[in-house]
């Protein structure tokens, strides 16, 4: 049976390269392409697909947020992240949001087909170094306190660190401004930080924003 694949990346040359590699395989077929998150949500998630190949760095939405949206919309469709970011913190965050595999663009030519076949078969695909961290029950360099943040706290943290004002976050999350301010104060306290600038720096260091 032929696996139907959606590629989401904002660079057309990258999409073309991925398509070229995959379509050398007789049982793999690229049926949809998207250049940004909105294209992905409108086209890929509305098509019968078996696998998503997704870049983390898109112009209109945080890649981690998009993984979570895709998993809610199509929980049975695995997501293989293909990213320029090689840091383990990015891969760990992607897995936390529901990705089935993580591959860097610099290794894609050699590993792409193997990674695609692994996630289509229901397995996780990780690099050996990341596999050792996961098997050991570790979480890389991320402080344990980050893992204890609620989903809403993490949303507010990412939005604040991405440059959104409290009022804008309130609108996006359909919350009262005072509630968002409370979340911000709670984040600063939990993370032992003092300002929004500290939140931005922390989020970048931990791979929460790109």
Average pLDDT for 134-139: 48
Query: Distance between CA 201 and CA 133 in Å, rounded?
Result: 24
Answer whether residue 149 is part of any domain. yes
Banded pLDDT at 131 (limits 50, 70, 90): low
Distance in Å from the first CA to the final CA of the chain: 37
Do 130 and 155 lie in one domain? The reply is no
Do 153 and 109 lie in one domain? The reply is no
Do 166 and 99 lie in one domain? The reply is no
Tokens 């570790």 locate to 138
Do 105 and 151 lie in one domain? The reply is no
Q: Tell me which residue range forms the domain holding 155.
A: 144-205
Query: Distance between CA 88 and CA 172 in Å, rounded?
Result: 29
Query: Distance between CA 189 and CA 185 in Å, rounded?
Result: 6
**Is 57 or 8 the better-scoring residue by pLDDT?**
8
**pLDDT tens-digit map of 20-78:** 999 999 999 999 999 999 999 998 888 899 999 999 989 999 888 899 999 999 999 99
| Residue ending a domain, choose from 88, 106, 135 | 135
**Is 30 or 139 the better-scoring residue by pLDDT?**
30
Average pLDDT for 16-22: 95
pLDDT of residue 106: 81
Do 25 and 95 lie in one domain? The reply is yes
Do 95 and 193 lie in one domain? The reply is no
Identify the H or E element spanning 83. strand 79-83
What CATH number has the domain bearing residue 88? 3.40.50.2300
pLDDT of residue 138: 45
Do 18 and 99 lie in one domain? The reply is yes
Average pLDDT for 8-29: 95
**pLDDT tens-digit map of 141-195:** 455 667 778 888 888 998 998 888 999 999 989 899 999 999 999 998 888 788 8
In 3D space, the residue among 43, 17, 42, 13 whose CA is nearest the CA of residue 31 turns out to be 43
**Is 122 or 129 the better-scoring residue by pLDDT?**
122
Query: Distance between CA 92 and CA 57 in Å, rounded?
Result: 16
Do 96 and 28 lie in one domain? The reply is yes
- pLDDT at 2 > cutoff 80: yes
Contacts of residue 201, Cβ cutoff 8 Å, sequence gap at least 6:
none
| Residue ending a domain, choose from 81, 112, 135 | 135
Question: In total, how many domains does the chain have?
Answer: 2
| Residue ending a domain, choose from 85, 104, 135 | 135
Answer whether residue 122 is part of any domain. yes
For residue 177 the two structure tokens come to 């401004």
Contacts of residue 75, Cβ cutoff 8 Å, sequence gap at least 6:
none
DSSP per-residue codes, 28-56: EEEEEEESSHHHHHHTGGGS--SEEEE-S
pLDDT of residue 141: 46
**Is 157 or 128 the better-scoring residue by pLDDT?**
157
Answer whether residue 126 is part of any domain. yes
Do 53 and 92 lie in one domain? The reply is yes
- pLDDT at 108 > cutoff 80: no
pLDDT of residue 143: 55
Decide: 207 and 89 in contact? Cβ < 8 Å.
yes
Banded pLDDT at 137 (limits 50, 70, 90): very low
Answer whether residue 82 is part of any domain. yes
Answer whether residue 46 is part of any domain. yes
For residue 204 the two structure tokens come to 């970048």
Answer whether residue 154 is part of any domain. yes
Answer whether residue 157 is part of any domain. yes
Query: By three-state DSSP, how is residue 20 classified?
Result: helix
Answer whether residue 33 is part of any domain. yes
């Amino acid at each position: 049976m032929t696996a139907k694949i959606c590629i989401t990346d904002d660079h057309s040359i990258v999409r073309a390269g991925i398509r070229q590699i995959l379509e050398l395989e007789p049982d793999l077929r690229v049926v949809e392409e998207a250049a940004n998150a909105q294209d992905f949500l409108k086209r890929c998630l509305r098509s019968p697909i078996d696998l998503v190949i997704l870049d983390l760095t898109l112009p209109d939405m945080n890649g981690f947020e998009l993984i979570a949206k895709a998993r809610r919309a199509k929980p049975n469709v695995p997501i293989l992240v293909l990213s320029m970011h090689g840091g383990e913190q990015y891969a760990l965050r992607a897995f936390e949001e529901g990705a089935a595999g993580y591959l860097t663009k610099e290794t894609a030519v050699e590993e792409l087909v193997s990674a695609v076949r692994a996630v289509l078969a229901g397995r996780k695909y990780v690099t050996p170094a990341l596999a050792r961290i996961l098997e050991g029950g570790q979480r890389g360099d991320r402080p344990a306190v980050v893992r204890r943040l609620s989903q809403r706290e993490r949303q507010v943290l990412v939005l604040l660190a991405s440059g959104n004002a409290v009022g804008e976050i309130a609108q996006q999350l359909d919350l009262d401004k005072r509630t968002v301010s409370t979340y911000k104060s709670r984040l600063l306290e939990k993370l032992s930080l003092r300002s929004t600038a500290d939140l931005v720096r922390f989020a970048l260091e931990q791979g929460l924003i790109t």
